[in-house]
Structure 1
């Protein structure tokens, strides 16, 4: 079955998340997030890279510094999602 034209126009913007599924604003970690597990960090990076959020709004939304966000991107680029593990940071430096 095909989606109608109006259904396509009303669809929420999304990006492909780190697990390969569609990720919308509603699927992002809560604004009150204090415990940053690998999946949540990767979702924020995917949202910024995919244009769902811009860097400034992501940093404001999650009370992050641009440097902290950039470290998440570098970790993903260099080591994949496992690079985001807090317990492995020392091994990768």
Structure 2
């Protein structure tokens, strides 16, 4: 039986431009999601450090919640992740 081995990135470039490793990601017990933590998770998934499924499982996120973070970054940059300004960015 052959096992499929995925190549995984050792680090990705984080939202602030610095290298981001698995050890640098927010703790799995994170309850308060500030802009920086959300952006780090999105960068990790986009860069191949974590898969979408791993990120959702690790942080007990729904796929829709993660995708909303990603979409907010794409449309409005990091400011789009602000919970207090969410109504300003909604259509």
TM-score by length of 1: 0.87
1:14 aligned partner: 11
Say which of 61, 64, 67 aligns to 1:67. 64
CA RMSD of aligned residues (A): 0.9
Unmatched runs of 5 consecutive residues or more in structure 2 = 1-8
- Bigger radius of gyration among the two: 1
Q: Which has the higher helix share?
A: 1
Runs of 4+ in 1 over 4 A off after TM superposition: none
Number of aligned positions between the proteins = 82
How far apart are the structure 2 equivalents of 1:82 and 1:29? 19
Q: Which runs of 5+ in 1 are unaligned?
A: 1-11
Post-superposition Cα deviations, 1:45-76, rounded to whole Å, max 9, x if no partner, equal: 00000000000000000000000000000000
| Partner residue of 2:78 out of 76, 81, 91 | 81
TM-superposed CA distance for 1:18, in Å, is: 0.0
Query: Does residue 24 of the first structure (1) align with residue 37 of the second (2)?
Result: no
Question: Residue 43 of structure 1 corresponds to which residue in structure 2?
Answer: 40
